[in-house]
Structure 1
Amino acid sequence: MGSALLAGLVTGWAIALPVGAIGALLVSLGAQQGWRVAAAGALGVATVDGLYAGVAVLAGAAAAAALAPVADALTLLAGMVLLAVALLMARAALRPAGPARAQPRLLSPLRAYLLLLGLTAVNPTTVVYFVAVVLGNDAVVSGTSAAAVFVAAALAASASWQLVLAGSGALLGRVASSDRARRLTGLVAAGVVAALAVRALATVLL
């Protein structure tokens, strides 16, 4: 249970930490429209992360049970996918920031929630990442309770960081969305994902 909790927290933070387009939008909402609107948007992002974690657990557990004879091959594939995601994260972190988009005025908390939920849901990298982590971590698929703990922890971790961004925007304007902050958080997250990939590969190769 403890391993599932730790895996969920690390996974949720790793996918949430890069301050990319969604993070910059949350900071901007906080700076321009206040804490309530930005916090609602943050919960929209976390909702998708939690849903994708749940889908990954269900699909990953089913795949692991049905394809047990090739479990080692799946673990290797999961590690390779995680390494690819880490490289994509690092590349995105080092890419120059794009021009800021104009934000809607008088956005309600409900509309902010739905807007950020929709923008996050169309990112296929998130669900691929969660599936790869689940397939590469036996503690996550070891039982219903462990799976539930993993999903809850991933959702809580994602929500905690998104709310930090929302609060940073409300308190400090656009400071957290500077190019230096974006690069630092993106590279840290890429390093965490790479570490998860190495762990998955080591379970088979060592």
Structure 2
Amino acid sequence: MNELMSPTLAGAAAGLGVAMPMGAMSVLLLQEAMRDRRTAVAAAAGIAAVDLGYAALATALGPWVASHISPVEAWVRLASAVILLVIAVHGLAGARRPGAGPESDAGPDSGAVLVQDTVASEAGTGAGVGQAGVSVRARPGNAFARYVGLTALNPTTALYFAALTTAQGAALGTGTAGTAFLLGVGAASLLWQQALVALGSLAGTRIPDRARVWTFRLGYGLVAAYAVKIALPLP
């Protein structure tokens, strides 16, 4: 049991690191929760599903990559750590001040600015109850698929997990360890997204800028901590 606890906790930290920074997708999810909590729950599951899918792909390939580059394993870990640090620094730089503009929406789970326009237009044409001939029963499924597609457009999540799992290839080499890691990723991401749904349904989209900045600091702080962890010992 203790052998599974470590990769599970590592996966949970990785899932929170990618999910916590409140970028464009988080804002859209809050707006979805304001309109209809059922569709927002499905949308949150779609975002978490993409996180889990990218993590699963990276976990499957990471150990294989690591096994073929064992002579330079320490340097690969260092390169992966640098990639993670760049992601963390870029995210933190965009969150230095409230209302930092487009850069503050550049979280691992954020979409491009185009995402906001896409979902906004869809919301205006078919997201209302009974509008455009869309039945209430079908809407959660549509929301799930839409948010899967929008979240998958952002390559930063894939890069994040690729760097993370390649650097930890040996640790995730066994099936049980990899499964525990993915369980942690999926559970943490889903719980965070569902917490945003609950927040959106209760408080709406008016999240204070200071609170939003702190989600960036906490999320990217986890990414930076991960980078330091996998970089040591240095080559």
1:122 to 2:153 alignment: yes
TM superposition score normalised by structure 2:
0.80
After superposition, residues 1-206 of structure 1 pair within 5 angstroms as 1-31=4-34, 33-94=35-96, 96-97=100-101, 102=120, 104=123, 105-106=127-128, 108-137=139-168, 140-176=171-207, 178-204=208-234
Deviation at residue 112 of structure 1 after TM alignment: 1.1
Alignment root-mean-square deviation, CA: 1.9
CA distance in 2, matches of 1:196, 1:36: 34
CA distance change for structure 1 residues 4 and 139 in 2, over 3 Å: closer, same or farther? farther
Aligned partner letter, 2:39: V
Q: Is 2:77–2:167's contact at 8 Å kept on the other side of the alignment?
A: yes
Cα deviation, residue 135, structure 1: 2.2
Structure number with greater Rg is 2
**1:56 touches 1:134 (CA, 8 Å); kept in 2?**
yes
Q: 1:140 to 1:50 in 2, by over 3 A?
A: farther
2:42 partner amino acid: A
Aligned partners of 1:119 and 1:24: how far apart in 2? 13
Deviations 1:149-204 (A, max 9, x none): 1112101110000000011111111133x322221101111111111111112233
Secondary structure of residue in 2 paired with 1:203: coil
* 5+ residue gaps, structure 1: none
Q: In 2, Cα distance between the equivalents of 1:136 and 1:166?
A: 33
Distance 1:139 1:38, change over 3 A: farther
- Unmatched 5+ stretches in structure 2: 103-112, 130-138
Hey, what's the Cα distance between the residues in 2 that align with 1:112 and 1:97?
27
What's the CA shift for 1:138?
5.2
Counterparts of 2:170 and 2:63, CA distance in 1: 11
Please give the TM-score of this superposition, normalised by the length of structure 1: 0.91
Deviations along 1:9-57, one digit per CA (max 9) or x if unpaired, are 00001100011100001011101x2211111000000000000000111
**Shift in Å, 1:109:** 1.0
